[in-house]
Structure 1
Amino acid sequence: MRFTDKVAVVTGADSGIGRATAERLLAEGATVFAVDVRHSQPWRDPGAGRLRLLDLDVAAPEAADRLAACLRSEAPRVDVLANVAGILHIAPFLEVTRQDWDRVLAVNLTGLFFLSQAVARIMVDTQTAGRIVNVSSVHAVVSEPNAAPYTATKGGLEAMTRTMASELAPYGITVNCVRPGATKTRMSEPIYTAQVVRSLLGKIPLGKIAPPEWVASAICYLASEDACYTTGACLDVDGGYAMDGSLPGTEYA
């Protein structure tokens, strides 16, 4: 119950890592504002009115103002912001259009920036030593062919996390990042064909593809007081994918 009496905002909360994070925070006592462009799956009511569902496209220009207005009217403060919302567009580099590029950046980077800014202002105004946790990807550091806009946003997000951490540290606000590897989510499902799964299992040292709950555990750690002295960090949750330079199937003499 690390989050009893805490208020948390989770974006991308309808499914996948966002859903698992919101459910974990609820289970540990938080009041959760679950944000997504739409809520298509039923929620289990934790009781005590601790769940708020907010339909919001994080890429919309008015999203940050809408979220801030909602929080200022319904919450005494904000303790945690988990930026999980993200989209993936698959196309060869030579075929990516300006529309494709703009949409991925709007969701994964621009919207995240301004939502974080709005929530951080509330934390500062209420003198709350809050926690902001951003969700990157192993593909910020490992190439993913046919996903240039996505990888660009994740690399940018990690750099932005460090700058946010530096600027918000004087207010007692920490900003960290989780870098998931292969994870079973609604976004990854279409590209995780049988062949892709076999290749991943051969590449990942721990030999597993993560359920969203494993990534949510890392997010909640960084959002908790257990990580009070950690800021500007990026935590790999990838089964060893990014660090492994071995050659699968090769024996060294």
Structure 2
Amino acid sequence: MRFSGKVAVVTGAGSGIGRATAIRLLDEGATVVAVDLKHVEPWPGRPEGRLHLVDLDVADPDAGRRLEAYLREEFQRVDVLANVAGILHIAPFLKVTRADWDRVVAVNLTGVFFLSQAAARVMVESGTPGRIVNVSSVHAVVSEPNAAPYTATKGGLEAMTRTMASELAPHGVTVNCVRPGATRTKMSEPIYTPEIVRSLQAKIPLREIAPPEWVASAICYLASEEARYTTGACLDVDGGYAMDGSLPGTVYS
């Protein structure tokens, strides 16, 4: 029950890593504000008194103001913000349109910035030593062909995390990120063809594609008091993908 008495906001909570994170926080005692575009899946067996469903597009220019007002009115505080919402657009670099680019940046980077700003204002003004956890991707450091807007936003997110951590440290607020590798979610499932899965299993040293719960565990660690002396860090949760320089199927002699 690491989060008993805490208020936690999770974006992208309708599915995937966001939903797994929200459930983990609920199970460990938090009151959770589950943010998503539209909540369509039920939350069986979850405590209604501690689960607040909020329909919100993180790319909406007014999203930060709306979240800040909601937190002030309902709780007068917030302890945790997990920025999990994200989108992936697959297209060759030469064919990416301005609309494609703008939408990915709006969700993956601009939305994170202004929702973090909103939550941090509430944390600072209430004197809460809060935790902000951003979700990056292994593709912030390893190229992903046909996903230039996505990789750009994840690289930018990691740089932004470090700057936010520096500025908020005097207020006792930590800002960190997790860097997931291959993870089965609604967003990734369409591209995980049998051929892609075989290639990933050959490339990833631990030979597994993660369920969302494995990434949620890392998010909740960084959101907890156990990580109180960690800020501006990025935690790899990728089965060894980014660090491995070996050639699958070959051995140096």
* 1:24-173 matches, cutoff 5 A: 24-47=24-47, 49-173=49-173
In 2, Cα distance between the equivalents of 1:251 and 1:8? 47
In 1, Cα distance between the equivalents of 2:81 and 2:159? 18
User: What SS is found at the alignment partner of 1:49?
Assistant: helix
In 1, Cα distance between the equivalents of 2:104 and 2:136? 13
Corresponding residue for 1:211? 211
Question: Would you say the 8 A contact 2:164–2:175 is kept in 1?
Answer: yes
In 1, Cα distance between the equivalents of 2:210 and 2:48? 31
In 1, Cα distance between the equivalents of 2:202 and 2:46? 40
Gaps of 5+ in 2: none
1:89-141 deviation line (CA, Å, top 9, x unaligned): 00000000000000000000001100000110000010000000000000000
What's the C-alpha RMSD, in Å, of the aligned pairs?
0.7
Question: What is the TM-score when the length of structure 1 is the normalising length?
Answer: 0.99
How far off its partner does 1:35 sit? 0.1
Corresponding residue for 1:4? 4
User: What SS is found at the alignment partner of 2:87?
Assistant: coil
Instruction: Give the aligned residue type for 2:80.
Output: V
Gaps of 5+ in 1: none
1:190-222 deviation line (CA, Å, top 9, x unaligned): 100000000000000000000000000000000
Instruction: Give the aligned residue type for 1:215.
Output: V
How far off its partner does 1:17 sit? 0.2
Instruction: Give the aligned residue type for 1:115.
Output: L
Q: How many residues align?
A: 253
Question: Would you say the 8 A contact 1:59–1:106 is kept in 2?
Answer: yes
In 2, Cα distance between the equivalents of 1:205 and 1:37? 35
Corresponding residue for 2:246? 246
Instruction: Give the aligned residue type for 2:241.
Output: Y
How far off its partner does 1:69 sit? 1.0
How far off its partner does 1:173 sit? 0.1
How far off its partner does 1:55 sit? 0.2
Question: What is the TM-score when the length of structure 2 is the normalising length?
Answer: 0.99
Corresponding residue for 1:230? 230
Instruction: Give the aligned residue type for 1:189.
Output: E
Instruction: Give the aligned residue type for 1:230.
Output: T
Corresponding residue for 1:180? 180
In 2, Cα distance between the equivalents of 1:241 and 1:46? 34
In 2, Cα distance between the equivalents of 1:128 and 1:44? 31
Instruction: Give the aligned residue type for 2:120.
Output: A
Instruction: Give the aligned residue type for 1:235.
Output: L
Question: Would you say the 8 A contact 2:76–2:122 is kept in 1?
Answer: no
1:21-56 deviation line (CA, Å, top 9, x unaligned): 000000000000000001110012433600000000
Question: Would you say the 8 A contact 1:31–1:51 is kept in 2?
Answer: yes
Query: What is the aligned-residue identity percentage?
Result: 80
My pick for the range that moved more, 64-73 or 235-244, is 64-73
Question: Would you say the 8 A contact 1:45–1:51 is kept in 2?
Answer: no
